[in-house]
Copies of this chain bind each other. A is one copy, B any other.
């Protein structure tokens, strides 16, 4: 052994991949009362896990997805899959959320459309999808359903709850609702209070869906429905996930194809148009329009200060240590809204840190390749408690 080896940090092998995974269904067969007072006789949550639960059942990390996400956040379902789960860059053996150490769990939210109970689920009373007869869902309902899943799996605590955007709202709600169960909260690109502008964008998306003649008051056949309205909603929302700068870098004013021949047309002319149309068209094949209504409404409702009297009162029960991460170019949930979460936690006497990452990728920054973010996440999850 020479000196150089002596002072070298412990070797960290190349991170690996979660690899092939498969989803599971948790079927809760006991009546569940929603925050609205409505009741379902039971519900299903579709979920995935990566890594191994230890003997003490105390090494779990719960991943919480955003509006259009799902339970499939890492690995692949088949060798032919072109894309892995949506947070595969963050989660895996040796990655920032290290599946060699943690048992990682992610469930499709209640109200979703990827296997969990939601408006596209069959109403046993009618044999048809619930449509908008499904109970209204809040972020708190999502979290309470996830807790039942954690209990079903026999988890004794969560080492961390991690999420961005609406996932970050769930993180905060977890720390408030089940304070003794959560060791660390990691919320990114999120808010404690959906803004008027956020509600406004959600409302335009909902109107695009509900005014589509194919919506039929929410009573459409599976695979049918307001595909045009849902695509419009998605196209618009997608702009809010990016930034002016990132769109200029990615597309600028580049023309699509032989554009000089078609300089005057309402068809696709600029690459950014083609990109947005593709985003809209692919979304309608994987998402249910009624779920879009339900989940955006849950986001609109999210306002911790109003729900608990003040943000400090909301955070009063919190026991977890918290890291909040804001991104400079995120104009949907801007840095100030993220910073405010950490400040309110500190005012409430809690352990909280705010980190602001300088990116120009907009709201989606939390999902994208960022060694800085990976280091923040890893260090936060693995350091000894302060």
Contact = CB atoms under 8 A, between A and B. Distances in A.
Interface string A222-265: 00000010011001100100111001101111000000000110
Interface string A299-311: 0110100100000
A242 B331 CA distance: 13
A247 B332 CA distance: 13
Given A196-B272, A266-B132, A272-B196, A232 B211 contact: yes
A334 interface: yes
Interface string A129-142: 00010001000000
A201 interface: yes
A276 B239 contact: no
Contact of A203 (B228, B276, B334): B276
B253 A201 contact: no
A204 interface: yes
A343 to B, nearest CB: 18
Given A36-B264, A232-B232, A264-B136, A306 B253 contact: yes
Q: Which of A38, A243, A250, A272 has the most CB of B within 10 A?
A: A272
B248 A195 contact: yes
Interface residues of A, number: 54
Copies of this protein chain in the complex: 2
A178 interface: no
Q: Which of A200, A206, A269, A280 has the most CB of B within 10 A?
A: A200
Given A204-B232, A235-B204, A253 B194 contact: yes
Nearest to A207: B232
B204 A276 contact: yes
Given A203-B272, A203-B273, A239-B204, A266 B197 contact: no
B236 A204 contact: yes
A339 interface: no
A347 interface: no
Q: Which of A201, A208, A228, A334 has the most CB of B within 10 A?
A: A208
